Amino acid sequence: MSGPVISANLVDAIALPRLVWLRPNLIGLVFTLMKLLPARFIIRKALEEGELRPGGLIVEATSGTFGLSLAMVSALQGHPLTLVGDPAIDPPLLRRLEDLGATVHIVREAGASGGFRQVRQEVLEKVLASTPGSFCPRQYSNPHNPGSYAPCAEQLAHAVGGIDCLVGSVGSGGSVCGISSYLRLILPELNVIGVDTHGSVIFGETDAGNDGWLLREVGNSLIPANVDHTAFDLVHWVGAAEAFQATRRLHREHALHMGPTSGAAFLVADWWARNHPDSLTAVIFPDEGYRYQDTVYNDAWLEAKGVRRDVPPREPVEWNRPYNGRDPWSFFRWGRRAYSDVMWIGPSADQGNSVATEEAGPDAAHPPPKLVPDGPGGAGATTFTRTERVEVARGRTDDAPTPLLRVSAEVPVWVDADTAAEVLGDAVRGLSALDIALGGNGLEVDGIDIGVAVSAYA
């Protein structure tokens, strides 16, 4: 006889989402706390693989829902936990984390580049070094983060058989890339739409310093290794005001009291579902609204921050390339391409962004410079002859914890900070644009040849 199921513990009881109809062709994946899935799975795998011993210390740098999820799983399994966070950990969250037994270090000063995330990372590495045997989950690069979403994809496939489109916000990339990779085993045509925010580097905008962002937990000042860019058909950038308004609408119209990343994803999914009435879309809602009661759900706060909107946003503006445009809501046909493939094709910044005048694709008149010498001449065989004024953005990837200097526009290559500093000296720090001469033996920046460094990262 089957009857009500009693879960082993709360995390097992609430880890999977409820599936809720929002329209006849739109399903919401309503999580209580989505990050419980990766927190539980990463710890389980670490124990199985011997990286963590029973009762061993877990250390992670996080200010958000992953920290809370780790604290819940650690409390249930008897692991001490140290979290390194920043002021985004508000007092009620801090009390909750400490009540669950976590030790929380809050860094108060942001780094010159890389913001709080860089400083958090430095403190994290110190804590790890001083406590041998401790385990760090590293949600941004640990493959068990996307790997943890298999049960969620299975649940969706069982419930509806198949869907045509998945929409979700992207922070570490774990949820959207994880769920879609499993679904595409049975639904290879599945459309995947990632939702990012302006000033996040994940899909090619330049870093606006996300420590000041009002819309948190989506976007990143680094490109996490867990973001598989080739998973995405479309990318949307949604501003904070638009996300907050959609969050309130989700509550008003569907009684779903969720956080602002849910609102951002809802805005996009609702738009897509309206425009594709014959296809079935699923949208990810990662957390509940309680933590945002005094902010997103408070009109006075919205007013004070200048992000209160009374009229719904207009349709999103299609961009022909990722760039730091001013449209509050925009999208780009990413086309399941690698990051480097997309970032090779953009026209220079002053050429506008109209899709009507320019097809996304390699520009025959200005083929991208080829940075890796392909002839027998080796590193001295590059063939460029132009000089470019290009934008310089600071970003990092999780696998390269030192800051990277991204030379973007038509030269989308990454040079690690050590190399950049060694070759370019302090001159590059704080610059937002550089003259780049392409020619001779390689790439010259302000008269200094960095051809070898660039070749290594091209």
Ligand X SMILES: Cc1ncc(COP(=O)(O)O)c(C=O)c1O
Told to check if 259 binds ligand X by CB under 6 A, we report yes
Among 172, 180, 191, 419, binds ligand X (CB under 6 A): 172
Among 113, 181, 206, 261, binds ligand X (CB under 6 A): 261
Told to check if 64 binds ligand X by CB under 6 A, we report yes
Shortest distance (Å) from residue 62 CB to ligand X: 8
The residue range among 170-178, 207-215, 338-346, 401-409 that interacts with ligand X, by the rule CB under 6 A, is 170-178
Among 63, 82, 169, 408, binds ligand X (CB under 6 A): 169
Tokens describing residue 340 = 């480097």
CB of 67 or CB of 369, closer to ligand X: 67
CB of 174 or CB of 322, closer to ligand X: 174
Told to check if 65 binds ligand X by CB under 6 A, we report yes
- Cα 38 to Cα 178: distance, rounded to the nearest angstrom: 10
Told to check if 232 binds ligand X by CB under 6 A, we report no
The pair phi, psi for residue 316, each rounded to 5°, is -70, 150
Q: Which of 202, 441, 367, 165 is nearest to 281 (CA)?
A: 165
SS3 28: strand
- H helix or E strand, kind and range, residue 395: strand 387-397
- Cα 31 to Cα 35: distance, rounded to the nearest angstrom: 9
Amino acid at 7: S
Amino acid at 228: D
**DSSP 8-class letter at 370:** P
Told to check if 86 binds ligand X by CB under 6 A, we report no
Tokens describing residue 324 = 């730091």
CB of 268 or CB of 445, closer to ligand X: 268
Angle between helices 240-254 and 260-275 (to 10 degrees): 80
**Residue written as tokens 């927190």?**
39
Told to check if 175 binds ligand X by CB under 6 A, we report yes
**DSSP 8-class letter at 290:** G
Shortest distance (Å) from residue 216 CB to ligand X: 8
SS3 422: helix
Among 60, 196, 205, 217, binds ligand X (CB under 6 A): 217
Site residues for ligand X, 412-441, by CB under 6 A, read none
Told to check if 451 binds ligand X by CB under 6 A, we report no
Told to check if 66 binds ligand X by CB under 6 A, we report yes
- Cα 377 to Cα 391: distance, rounded to the nearest angstrom: 30
Shortest distance (Å) from residue 261 CB to ligand X: 3
Judged by the rule CB under 6 A, the positions of this chain that interact with ligand X are 35, 64-66, 169-175, 217-218, 259, 261, 286-287
